[in-house]
Amino acid sequence: MSPLVFTLLAFGISFVAGLFGSLVGVGGGIIVVPALTLIFGVPIHFAIGASIVSVIATSNGAAASYVKRGIANLRVAMLLEVATASGAIVGALLAGRAQPRVLFVLFGLTLLYVVWSMLRKRTAAQLEIPPDRIADRLRLHGSYFDDSEQKQIHYRVARTPFGFAVSGIAGLLSGLLGIGGGAIKVPAMHLAMGMPLKVCTATSNFMIGVTAAASAMVYFMRGDVSPFIAAPVASGVLLGAMAGSQLMTRLRNNWIKTLFLIVLFFTSGQMLWKGLRP
């Protein structure tokens, strides 16, 4: 394979990853890292370095529109960013010392979790909202205008310490594996903290840019961000995600989601095999 063919293929795959990722609500990193390592044999540290840059790009692009529509809860975002950014730095430092095999296994397990959480998403019920002194003190409760219900929805935020802890774990995995970590944060924010799902998604996407920037700097300064690999990957994921957000409203995405789950399931198996085979 020539460098030019690699660049075009990496761009194409990243574009598809960004497109499908935005259609089903996950970041592109979850597809890009396995594709680069399994298909092209890119060392996993460089694949993660390229992915984490693309994660910043998509978050920056998405955050702008969410903030504009006033859905994201900025106060919750800024508070939880303390946890995600700390976790991301630790994760990025750990990744620098981790054996590739360990990263493959962790990635495979994370993919399995994402598949499971996507299957479960619609059925889980929110926990009741107990009083939360921290949320009161920091005035985290919020409201947003819901387009489908055509009214202002007020909500209370609860279990802030739990959300903070989960955000730290999400940041850790983000820094370790070069993914956004939304699949871990969003269920915690929705089910435990009591925020409406739309608010959780918007807030999580908003936070991901800051989280990924923290670990991206570690990867960059360590020499794990390759200009040759990161350029087609970041531009591909970004353009794919932009195209996806244009398509979003026009597609019924049930079959896409099913196809995506199957692909992720097999990918997780391959990542695990790559880490565990003798």
Partner 1 sequence: MSEPTLPNPNEAPDDAVVHRVEQIIGNLLRCGVLTSLALLVAGTLVSFFHSHRYGSTSDDLSVLIAKGGDFERSFAWLFGGLRDFRGQALIVLGLVFLIATPLLRVAVSVVAYIIERDLIFVLITSLVLVLLVVSFLIGGHG
Q: How far is the CB of 191 from partner 1 (least distance, A)?
A: 18
Count of residues binding partner 1 (CB under 8 A)? 78
Question: Which of 37, 203, 204, 215 forms a contact with partner 1 (CB under 8 A)?
Answer: 215
Phi, psi of 155 (to 5 degrees): -145, 155
What does the buried/exposed string (b/e) look like for 75-112 if buried means 16 or more CB atoms within 10 Å of the residue's CB? bbbebbbebbbbbbbbbbeebeeeeeeebbbbbbebbb
Q: Residue 190 class from Cβ within 10 Å (0-12 exposed, 13-18 middle, 19+ buried)? A: buried
Q: Which two tokens stand for residue 18?
A: 């960004």
Site for partner 1 in 85-114 (CB under 8 A): 85-86, 88-89, 92-93, 96
CA gap 4, 8 in Å, rounded: 6
Site for partner 1 in 152-211 (CB under 8 A): 154-156, 209-210
CA gap 57, 178 in Å, rounded: 13
Site for partner 1 in 3-42 (CB under 8 A): 3-4, 6-7, 40-42
Pair 118, 51: CB distance under 8 Å: no
The nearer residue to partner 1, 141 or 190, going by C-beta atoms, is 141
CA angle 104, 110, 114 (to 5 degrees): 140
Over the window 56 to 75, marking each residue x when it contacts partner 1 by CB under 8 A and - when it does not, the resulting string is xx-xxx-xxx-xx-x---xx
Question: Which of 224, 240, 244, 271 forms a contact with partner 1 (CB under 8 A)?
Answer: 224
Site for partner 1 in 140-159 (CB under 8 A): 141-143, 154-156
Over the window 112 to 131, marking each residue x when it contacts partner 1 by CB under 8 A and - when it does not, the resulting string is -----------------xxx
The nearer residue to partner 1, 80 or 106, going by C-beta atoms, is 80
CA gap 30, 42 in Å, rounded: 15
Question: Which of 13, 16, 225, 272 forms a contact with partner 1 (CB under 8 A)?
Answer: 225
The nearer residue to partner 1, 246 or 258, going by C-beta atoms, is 246
Question: Which of 181, 232, 240, 275 forms a contact with partner 1 (CB under 8 A)?
Answer: 232
Question: Which of 216, 264, 271, 272 forms a contact with partner 1 (CB under 8 A)?
Answer: 216
DSSP conformation class of 147: T
Q: How far is the CB of 103 from partner 1 (least distance, A)?
A: 15
Q: How far is the CB of 57 from partner 1 (least distance, A)?
A: 6
Tell me which stretch binds partner 1 (CB under 8 A): 100-108, 134-142, 180-188, 246-254. Answer: 134-142
Name every residue whose Cβ is closer than 8 Å to that of residue 203 and which is 6 or more positions away in sequence: 72, 73, 74, 76, 77, 80, 189, 195
CA gap 111, 242 in Å, rounded: 23
